[in-house]
């Protein structure tokens, strides 16, 4: 049924009225294919060109307005949003409320601004490929920050171990998961390095679990949920990067840069890593994504920070957590 729905969506996009003749978009589309190593032929080429053209129109229309952020072409420009959503987003398992300790950081004062991305607390931007494994990348990001906090040395952890081996509970590999569940798995099993267990699910399929050697100190970790409010999240980020989930919409797909102010809903479908906050004309959260460094601001997005908004913009405050080694 999902495939049929995607085909219908693609057909609708291909028939949509464009701002310019299709020939106007073809040179840019060919450059897009060359840049990203893609090849299409026949009907699919025409359909992809139409989708690219519709996205080009959406980019131009948005950037012509008075917005604090811009959209732009990237590796996802040939995809309709329904396709993108099915391939790159997921539905994190709901966090069980009231089942464990939630930290509101009472008595803690948050720093005025934080940017862990400029430190060894945060590894280079990674790329999940067409696997809904964002939850695993958010989890390893939290672990990398916690390891640096504990031991004072940088460590890059394995997403593939989580995608392939954390399968006995609610986490579902390329079909979604939740960072809290992954932290529970790590507490019982430990976590290997990315070098010893490299990522192999970019195609959207997860290989079977292989044997691994966990990094000393990762087994037996604890994790803490952050209270669902702006101030608590800021206090948490003041001490280390924090795993969060957001509701990512069409503008996430084509985000280029600036402070993202389009507030989508709170249907959490994407796990990311909150690495800082600050002010640039307005307050923002700085978030590390897992769609490669050609997306957004070198792989990051700055999201508008709205202290009194329930669940925060795109739900960012509603499912935050961090591990402790």
DSSP H helices in 166-297: 179-189, 230-239, 250-253
How many domains, in total, are found in the chain?
A: 2
Considering 134, 165, 174, 314, which one is annotated as catalytic? 134
Name residue, tokens 């959209």: 71
CB proximity list for 118: less than 8 A, separation 6 or greater: none
pLDDT given at position 183 = 96
CA distance 149 to 120: 10
pLDDT at 70: 97
* Residue 165 annotated among the catalytic residues of the structure: no
> Which of the residues in the chain have pLDDT under 50?
1-15, 98-99
Told to judge if 127 belongs to the known catalytic residues of this protein, a careful annotator would answer no
User: Is residue 270 flagged as an active site residue?
Assistant: yes
**Which pLDDT does position 170 carry in this prediction?**
81
- The phi and psi torsions of 273 (rounded to 5 degrees) equal -125, 120
pLDDT at residue 162, as a whole number: 98
Tell me, yes or no, whether 91 lies in a domain: no
Domain end position, chosen among 42, 66, 90: 66
| Domain boundary, last residue among 10, 44, 66 | 66
Q: Looking at the structure, tell me whether residues 180 and 283 fall in a common domain.
A: yes
62, with CB counted inside 10 A (0-12, 13-18, 19+), is: middle
pLDDT for the residue 98: 47
Of 268, 280, 276, give the one whose Cα is nearest residue 311. Answer: 268
Active-site residue identified among 55, 181, 228, 289: 289
* Shared domain check, 225 and 170: yes
Q: Provide the pLDDT for residue 6.
A: 40
Can you give the pTM of this predicted structure? 0.91
pLDDT digits (tens, 9 = 90+) for 286-306: 999 999 999 999 999 999 999
Give residue-wise pLDDT tens across range 197-249: 999 999 999 999 999 999 999 999 999 999 999 999 999 999 999 999 999 98
Is 312 part of any domain? yes
> Do 51 and 139 reside in the same domain of the chain?
no
Question: For residue 85, is it within any domain?
Answer: no
Asked if residue 53 and residue 107 are part of one domain, the reply reads no
Domain that holds residue 22: 2-66
Same domain, 284 and 137: yes
Q: Which of 131, 181, 270, 314 is catalytic?
A: 270
Residues 46 and 188 in one domain: no
Residue 74 lies in a domain: no
Cα–Cα distance between 85 and 174 in angstroms, integer?
13
Q: Tell me, yes or no, whether 118 and 32 share the same domain.
A: no
What tokens does 29 get? 């589309």
């Amino acid at each position: 049924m999902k495939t049929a729905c995607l085909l219908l969506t693609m057909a609708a996009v291909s028939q949509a009225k464009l701002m310019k003749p299709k020939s106007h978009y073809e040179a840019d589309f060919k450059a897009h294919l060359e840049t990203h190593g893609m090849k299409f032929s026949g009907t699919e080429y025409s359909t992809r060109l139409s989708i690219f053209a519709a996205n080009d129109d959406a980019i131009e229309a948005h950037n012509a307005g008075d917005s604090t952020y811009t959209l732009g072409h990237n590796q996802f420009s040939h995809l309709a949003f329904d396709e993108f959503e099915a391939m790159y987003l997921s539905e994190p398992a709901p966090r069980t409320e009231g089942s464990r300790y939630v930290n509101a950081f009472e008595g803690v004062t948050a720093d005025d601004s934080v940017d862990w991305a400029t430190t060894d607390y945060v590894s280079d931007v990674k790329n999940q490929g067409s696997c809904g494994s964002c939850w695993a990348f958010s989890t390893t990001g939290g672990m990398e920050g916690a390891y640096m906090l504990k031991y004072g040395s940088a460590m890059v952890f394995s997403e593939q171990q989580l995608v392939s081996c954390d399968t006995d509970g609610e986490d579902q590999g390329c079909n979604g998961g939740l960072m809290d569940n992954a932290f529970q798995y790590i507490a019982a099993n430990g976590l290997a390095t990315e070098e010893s267990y490299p990522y192999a699910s970019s195609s959207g399929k997860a290989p079977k679990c292989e044997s691994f050697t966990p990094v000393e100190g990762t087994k037996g970790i604890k994790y803490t949920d952050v209270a669902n409010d702006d101030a608590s999240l800021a206090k948490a980020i003041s001490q280390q990067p924090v795993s969060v989930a957001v509701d990512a919409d069409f503008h996430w797909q084509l985000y280029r840069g600036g402070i993202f102010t389009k507030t989508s809903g709170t249907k959490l479908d994407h796990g990311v890593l909150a690495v800082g906050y600050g002010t640039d004309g307005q307050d923002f959260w700085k978030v590390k994504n897992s769609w490669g460094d050609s997306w957004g601001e070198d792989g990051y997005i700055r999201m508008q920070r709205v202290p009194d908004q329930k669940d925060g913009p795109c739900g960012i405050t509603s499912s935050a957590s961090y591990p402790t080694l």
